[in-house]
Amino acid sequence: MKVLVACEYSGRVREAFRKLGHDAWSCDLLPAEDDSPYHYQGDVMAIINDGWDLMIAHPPCTHLAVSGARWFKDKRQEQEDALDFVVGLLSANIPMIALENPISVISSRIRKPDQIIQPWQFGHGETKATCLWLKNLPKLEPTNVVEGRENRVHRMPPGPDRWKERSRTFQGIADAMAQQWGGILAKEGTHEDH
């Protein structure tokens, strides 16, 4: 399956899919943290029509997340631009799409998410409500519910890389996406082959 992981510098979701044999690529304005050759550095809109089967998108939440609401009034244009970017991703001509963001104005301005997941449902003892907007994909099933409920993000020291530490996809969630969504087309293909 041809998988585009849009707005990903960490390579976590890309590598989870590649380990299962998919032709997965990440794309970000930033270079890949792991120097992978399977990374396109540039605007995702330049490659969004290149025949992908599945796209998982992690657009920036800076001007969308409800946690930053106190800045919204000074950042109207930035918020409109961020919403336009989300609309562009969600309306891409790709059969299966998942778009991920924290609790954000996407819910009130575009539509409500299909589900809200937490890292503690996927093996990480942390809270971080993560919304998923889905097209032709089933809801992600929890893989490993653990006891811990720490809010690590609030304890992170300020610094230039704090946003990166906060936004890197949790490994357990990346693995669940690849395991649960990577099989969909393969299973359908198997039926067609018979």
Rounded to the nearest whole angstrom, what is the least distance from the CB of residue 79 to ligand SAM in the complex? 14
Mention every residue, 6+ apart, whose C-beta is less than 8 A from residue 69.
Answer: none
| Nearest distance in Å: CB 76, ligand SAM | 19
Instruction: Return the DSSP state at 114.
Output: S
Which is closer to ligand SAM, CB of 121 or CB of 169? 169
Closest CB to ligand SAM among 60 and 142?
60
Closer by beta carbon to ligand SAM, 80 or else 188: 80
Q: Please name which of 95, 88, 99, 84 lies closest in space to residue 46, comparing C-alpha atoms.
A: 88
**Separation of alpha carbons 54 and 146, rounded Å:** 29
Tokens of 68: 């930053």
Query: What is the rounded CA–CA span in Å between residue 141 and residue 103?
Result: 19
Token output for 136: 């032709």
Please report how close the Cβ of residue 30 comes to ligand SAM at its closest, in angstroms: 5
Contact 11, 31 (CB under 8 A): no
Q: Is 164 left (phi over 0), alpha (psi -120 to 50) or beta?
A: alpha
Which stretches of the chain bind ligand SAM, using CB under 6 A? 7-10, 12, 27-30, 43-44, 58, 60-61, 167-169
CB of 27 to ligand SAM, least distance (A): 5
Q: Give the residue with the Cβ less far from ligand SAM, 116 or 186.
A: 116
Smaller CB distance to ligand SAM: residue 43 or 188?
43
CB of 194 to ligand SAM, least distance (A): 38
Cα–Cα distance measured from residue 174 to residue 156, given in angstroms and rounded to the nearest whole number: 22
